[in-house]
Structure 1
């Protein structure tokens, strides 16, 4: 686990209000379209996909804001032929941990980070990020995900 501050990141993104119970409808759908639209608009992709959760509390039925973001080079261009938008994710102070393996076990990683935070940094800010370093849908045990829990 590591305490760190992430610099602002320029992204091409999708936003919605959803619940943890309904997350699966976005998996493998939104990201594919983000990549397609980014390439169609000649955006330079600069990093792995981020899922940003604002207000998620672990309850499967609590509504929260989900942002699915693809880092891209900053551009002055206006994107008019896409439902996605360019934005900058702000600097983000967080406790971070690498999760290796199936996403069904992400809860264990979150629990470990939260336990550490409660001892060292008890002020969480209500935002979490997951960075999908490697996604292997055929062999989920090969997934590599960085989990970041925001701190005040």
Structure 2
């Protein structure tokens, strides 16, 4: 685990209110739609996809805000079915999760107690991010996800 500040970035993103149980409808579909839209708008995709969780508590039926984002460079004053925004630097505790996403809760289960043991506090909006460095739906042991828990 390490404390780090993620750099500012501009993203093309999708937002919704959902639950963990409702993520299956989003997982393969929305990231591909964002990539297609970035290509249609001739934007440069400048990094891996991110998922931002606001107010999620880990329980399957708790509703929270989810944003699926794609870092981009280019003209963000174009008309799109999706939204653009500029993200400020993000201070967080980061850890790499290797393997299936069904075990992501174990990584969060290490990060959160660790940050409290170090005298840190989670960000007021409980923002957590996941950066999908490598996605492999067929061989999930090949998944590589950087888990980022926002801190004050």
| Residue of structure 2 in register with 1:83 after alignment | 81
Is the deviation greater in 82-91 or in 109-118? 82-91
Q: TM-score, normalised by structure 1?
A: 0.95
Instruction: Work out whether 1:128 is the aligned partner of 2:106.
Output: no
| Residue of structure 2 in register with 1:53 after alignment | 53
Which string of whole-angstrom CA distances, capped at 9 and with x for unpartnered residues, describes residues 72-127 of structure 1? 0153x4221x3111111222110000001011110100001012111014310100
1:98 paired residue among 93, 96, 104: 96
**Do the aligned residues in 2 keep the contact of 1:52 with 1:128 (CA within 8 Å)?**
yes
Which string of whole-angstrom CA distances, capped at 9 and with x for unpartnered residues, describes residues 37-92 of structure 1? 100000000000000001111121211110100000153x4221x31111112221
| Residue of structure 2 in register with 1:67 after alignment | 67
Provide the rounded CA distance (Å) in 2 between the counterparts of 1:46 and 1:23. Answer: 25
Moved over 6 A (4+): none
| Residue of structure 2 in register with 1:36 after alignment | 36
Q: CA RMSD in A?
A: 1.1
| Residue of structure 1 in register with 2:3 after alignment | 3
Q: Secondary structure of the equivalent of 1:111?
A: helix
Provide the rounded CA distance (Å) in 1 between the counterparts of 2:110 and 2:54. Answer: 20
Structure 1 stretches of 5 or more lacking a match?
none
How many residues end up aligned between the 2 structures? 150
Provide the rounded CA distance (Å) in 2 between the counterparts of 1:122 and 1:94. Answer: 10
Provide the rounded CA distance (Å) in 2 between the counterparts of 1:122 and 1:24. Answer: 32
